[in-house]
Amino acid sequence: MVEDGTMRCEDALGAIGNTPIVRLKGLEPEGGGEIWVKLEGGNPTGSYKDRMAASVLRRAMDRGALRRGDRVVEYTGGSTGTALAFVSAVLGLRFTAVFSDAFSDSKRQAMEAFGAEVLIEPSGDGTITPGLIARMKARAHALAAEPGSFYADQFGSPDVRAGYDPMGREIAADLDGHVDVLVAAVGTGAALMGAADGLAAAGVRPRIVALEPLQSPLLTTGTGGAHRVEGIGVGFAPPFLDRDRLDDIRAIDQDRAFAMCRQLARQTGLFCGGSTGLNVVAAIDLARGLEPGQRVVTLGCDTGAKYLGGHIFG
Ligand SMILES: Cc1ncc(COP(=O)(O)O)c(C=O)c1O
């Protein structure tokens, strides 16, 4: 985050956060509420994951649990990995990612551009399944047990959720505290819950709605499945999702999400990935139930540039 009110940063980590929030006026339902998207694609690696990577690695270094030259290990669908690779480069750390061919190849390339070592776990048929995630996790755990290694622990470290607290505070400031619903798809659940924490810290308590792909309705039906929305629907209970804080959980068809990505780019100029498309589909549904002047806020998780050459934009 830019600390002194100017755009001057001491290093590239200072360029994280303070992202714009954009109203989707053209997609608002007649007689319904306003739709706002916190556009996180403007972070240095094009994703809100930069917030959590900086939080996890900086706090670990501050505690003395991680030192310059150490190796950071994580299993990742690529956005977290790219963010960890970026922050590791800035902080003088090495980074090894356990990745898979089920995720965008451009994400592998981005991690490697930041100097990361990327190990590929084969998916078989290109889909994200609970079995694939379990194999990636086991491989990362084994590597992290080696000397001089630090497990970033995107599914367990309390520093992950804390990294998104500023995003919630920014939303509160951007919209003068007027937020009626906060809705977002969940992988770990950290972005949604961290944003809710930041909003609450600013005295703002909207309804909180979590989303998952209809093709992997683990939270809504108890059974996961194969789907193609990168970053969400991880096949097990999202560790940071605080069910007591949720007002609703909805399953959204991934094909509506991908169509929304294409519509967003052409109709509004927002260039986003599949999870953002899913978020906007749900935000429009929720806006139908709001009064004019009420606001639903969702997250623009990352930039569509990460998905060029994949199945979303063809
Ligand atoms: C593109 C994308 N969208 C959404 C998410 C979900 O975020 P969270 O894990 O904080 O719930 C992720 C997480 O990996 C992601 O990479």
Ligand 1 atom closest to residue 230's alpha carbon, by position in its atom list: 1
The CA-atom distances, in angstroms, between 149 and each of 89, 117, 158, 262 are: 16, 13, 19, 41
What's the mean pLDDT when you consider all of the chain?
Answer: 95
pLDDT band for position 3 (cuts 50, 70, 90)? low
- Give, using CA atoms, the residue closest to atom 1 of ligand 1: 231
Cα 103 to averaged position of ligand 1 atoms, centre (Å):
13
Question: 232 in ligand 1 pocket by Cβ < 6 Å?
Answer: yes
What are the Cα distances from residue 48, in Å, to 27, 70, 161, 188? 23, 24, 12, 13
Mean pLDDT over 302-311 rounds to: 90
Count the Cβ atoms, other than its own, within 10 Å of residue 222.
Answer: 7
**Which ligand 1 atom is nearest residue 240's CA?**
11
Q: How far is residue 203's CA from residue 109's CA, in Å, rounded to a whole number?
A: 41
- Is the minimum distance from the CB of 190 to ligand 1 under 6 angstroms? yes
301 Cβ closer than 6 Å to some ligand 1 atom: yes
Q: What is the pLDDT of residue 302?
A: 95
| CATH architecture entry for 12-43+164-307 | 3-Layer(aba) Sandwich (3.40)
Q: What's residue 196's pLDDT?
A: 98
Mean pLDDT, residues 15-21 taken together: 97
* Residue 185 reports pLDDT greater than 90: yes
Task: Decide if domain 49-155 falls under CATH 3.40.50.970.
Answer: no
Q: Atom 5 in ligand 1: which residue has the minimum CA distance?
A: 231
Q: Do the first three CATH levels of 12-43+164-307 and 49-155 match, i.e. the same topology?
A: yes
Task: Give the pLDDT band of residue 309 (cuts 50, 70, 90).
Answer: confident
Rounded to the nearest angstrom, the distance between the alpha carbon of 186 and the centre of ligand 1 is: 6
| Token output for 58 | 């900086």
78 band by pLDDT with thresholds 50, 70 and 90: confident
Determine how many CB atoms are found less than 10 A away from the CB of residue 170.
Answer: 21
pLDDT value, residue 2: 57
Query: pLDDT (tens digit, 9 = 90+) per residue, 89-117?
Result: 999 999 999 999 988 888 899 999 999 99
pLDDT in tens, 239-285: 999 999 999 999 999 999 999 999 999 999 999 999 999 999 999 99
Residue ranges covered by each domain of the chain:
12-43+164-307, 49-155
Task: Read off the pLDDT of residues 114-163 as tens digits, 9 standing for 90 and up.
Answer: 999 999 999 999 887 878 989 999 999 999 999 999 999 999 999 999 99
Name which of 58-67, 109-118, 125-134, 175-184 the model is least confident about. Answer: 125-134
The rounded percent of the chain whose pLDDT value lies above 70 is 99
